[in-house]
Amino acid sequence: MENTSTLKKLLFFLLFTSSLYSQSLLYIGTSIGAYHESFDTDDDISLSTSIANFKIGYGNRKNYAIEFILDYMPNKSKIFSSSGTYDGDRYGFNIALVKAFDFDIYALPFIKAGFGSGYMKINRNMQRKLSYGSYNVAAGMFLPINATLDVELGYEYRYVSYQSINTISQSLQYDAHANSVYCGINIRF
Residues that bind other proteins (CB under 8 A): 32-34, 36, 39, 41, 43-50, 76-83, 106-107, 124-126, 143, 151, 153, 165-170, 172, 174, 181-183
- Nearest CB to other proteins, comparing residues 95 and 141: 141
Phi first, then psi: what are they for 2, rounded to 5°?
-70, -35
Residue 97 or 183 with smaller CB distance to other proteins: 183
Question: Least distance to other proteins from the beta carbon of 4, Å?
Answer: 49
Are 159 and 135 within 8 A, CB to CB? yes
**Vertex 119: Cα angle to 127 and 28 (nearest 5):** 165
Shortest distance, CB of residue 130 to other proteins, whole angstroms? 11
> How far apart are alpha carbons 26 and 20 in whole angstroms?
9
- Give the Å distances, CA to CA, from 181 to 22, 33, 52, 160, 178: 32, 5, 11, 16, 10
Least gap, CB of 87 to other proteins (angstroms): 9
State in angstroms the smallest separation of the CB of 187 from other proteins: 18
Q: Which is nearer to other proteins, 8 or 76 (CB)?
A: 76
CB atoms inside a 10 Å sphere around CB 12:
10
Q: Which is nearer to other proteins, 95 or 107 (CB)?
A: 107
